[in-house]
Amino acid sequence: MEIACRAIATSSACRFTFFNTHVAPQAMTLDTLDTPAALIDLPRMERNIALMQERMNALGVRFRPHVKTSKSIDVVRAQIAAGAQGVTVSTLKEAEAFFDAGVRDILYAVGIAPSKLPRALALRKKGCDLKLLVDNTTTAAALARFGQEHGETFEVYIEVDTDGHRSGLAPEQDALLEVGRVLHENGVRVGGVMTHAGASYELHTPDSLAACAEQERAGCVRAAERLRGAGIPCDVVSVGSTPTALSARKLDGVTEVRAGVYVFFDLVMYNVGVCTLDDIALSVLTTVIGHQPEKGWAIVDAGWMAMSRDRGTSAQTMDFGYGLPCLLDGTPLPGYRMTGANQEHGILCAVKLDPSENTASSDIETRLPIGTRLRILPNHACATSAQFPEYHVVLASGDVAVWDRFYGW
């Protein structure tokens, strides 16, 4: 039987149709770039990509990055160059954009709405090896009927729920086999099962994360075994989330892992405990535009439109407000947080966390004078990057390149 997940072109034989990694025409630097800007620290991103890929190679699984985090052809090129095989997408627009850029093996990891089938069909007819996701018999039947009507053998993964956080069928549920049968007996190729341990984001100890990864693995493998036991093919066992991908101690029975935010990391992942602050590759460049000295506030030109409204650290061990301010070289400002945000205004303020910290704020105007440039680490890289039409990429040389980013559906 053909392996469901074909390797896509690696860097040496990449058929990407456009590269946008140009150094900006005028000599752009962090001192002259318009603010706010979304910065990628390229050495950090490359290190994050390499370490994840090495881990997946060591665990003996294929790695299919979730590209919803970056929505950037250039970032995905780097992931594929490092060894990624295929991509995971969260929208059909991503599937279309990455297929146009040369990626053939694409998993659309959100349950397909029947009304989206014509768009999925168009991609497959163009040669995209697009896999769809289903977790109920209604959609399975609609998909099978649509495939028959259009002479297309769709490939589908069945979504498995291993932690109760969102969609999917529990591994022991009768409906799992019913969905498998509706697909298999009506001309749809059941490519595999897929789960996402979204509950891992709520953890923060190595043992609880390893246990969550094992629950994700075991549940998804069990679902595959039940399907196979019922005579339904199920080659792929696909698991993943950044925390579990980085915490799994074994992946027996798993064939592929997916993860997205690891490429940039963020403050939520720092609180989960799967990265250090020095691993966070995405930041927002901003400029101090004012002060309220008696309150200890510096006001910057990055508000929630730049940072996003994501307050993912609010319920975690360390609440970073709307982000952690750092100097241009990446050094965090001790005790400072973006404590408030309006649409285009961020409020930076020192929060005394430790009596030994030097966080006197009465001299805010001299500590952070008008025009000071800072880099704000975000709570959630997927949400923050989505606010920007392009990334400004800080190369190891110090040059700044521009990478496009897309959005929408």
Q: Which residue's CB is nearer to a second copy, number 108 or number 336?
A: 108
- Contact between 290 and a second copy by CB under 8 A: the answer reads yes
**Least distance (Å) from a second copy to the CB of residue 132?**
11
The site string for a second copy over 263-282 (x = CB under 8 A, - otherwise) reads: --------------------
Among 211, 289, 351, 395, binds a second copy (CB under 8 A): 289
- DSSP 3-state of 173: coil
Q: Which residue's CB is nearer to a second copy, number 343 or number 356?
A: 343
Q: How far apart are CA 385 and CA 281, in angstroms?
A: 11
- Contact between 138 and a second copy by CB under 8 A: the answer reads yes
- Contact between 116 and a second copy by CB under 8 A: the answer reads yes
- Contact between 213 and a second copy by CB under 8 A: the answer reads no
Q: How far apart are CA 273 and CA 204, in angstroms?
A: 6
Region of 187-195, 226-234, 323-331, 384-392 interacting with a second copy (CB under 8 A): 384-392
Q: Which residue's CB is nearer to a second copy, number 157 or number 255?
A: 157
- Contact between 366 and a second copy by CB under 8 A: the answer reads no
Closest of 155, 188, 378, 146 to residue 277, by C-alpha: 378
CB 390, CB 73: distance < 8 Å: no
- Contact between 24 and a second copy by CB under 8 A: the answer reads no
Among 36, 65, 296, 321, binds a second copy (CB under 8 A): 36
Per-residue three-class SS string for 337-367: EEEEECCCCEEEEECCCCCCCCCCCCCHHHH
DSSP-derived secondary structure letter, 68: T
Region of 4-12, 43-51, 137-145, 272-280 interacting with a second copy (CB under 8 A): 137-145
Helix (H) or strand (E) holding 50: helix 42-59
CA 11-15-19 angle, 5° bins: 80
Q: Where are the alpha helices (DSSP H) in 246-286?
A: 267-272
**Least distance (Å) from a second copy to the CB of residue 73?**
18
Q: How far apart are CA 281 and CA 277, in angstroms?
A: 9
Q: How far apart are CA 5 and CA 107, in angstroms?
A: 10
- Contact between 387 and a second copy by CB under 8 A: the answer reads yes
Region of 55-63, 242-250, 329-337, 343-351 interacting with a second copy (CB under 8 A): 343-351
**Least distance (Å) from a second copy to the CB of residue 321?**
14
Region of 30-38, 40-48, 57-65, 80-88 interacting with a second copy (CB under 8 A): 30-38
Half-sphere exposure of 264 (CA within 13 A, CB side): 32
- Contact between 362 and a second copy by CB under 8 A: the answer reads no
Using alpha carbons, list the distances in angstroms from residue 237 to 64, 206, 253: 12, 24, 7
- Contact between 111 and a second copy by CB under 8 A: the answer reads yes
Q: How far apart are CA 216 and CA 209, in angstroms?
A: 10
Number of residues forming the site for a second copy (CB under 8 A): 59
Closest of 207, 203, 284, 191 to residue 242, by C-alpha: 203
Among 154, 388, 391, 403, binds a second copy (CB under 8 A): 388
Interacting residues with a second copy (CB under 8 A) = 32, 34-37, 68, 90-91, 110-116, 119, 135-136, 138-139, 142, 161, 166-167, 198, 287-292, 299, 301, 304-306, 308-311, 342-345, 347, 369-371, 380, 382-383, 386-390, 407-409
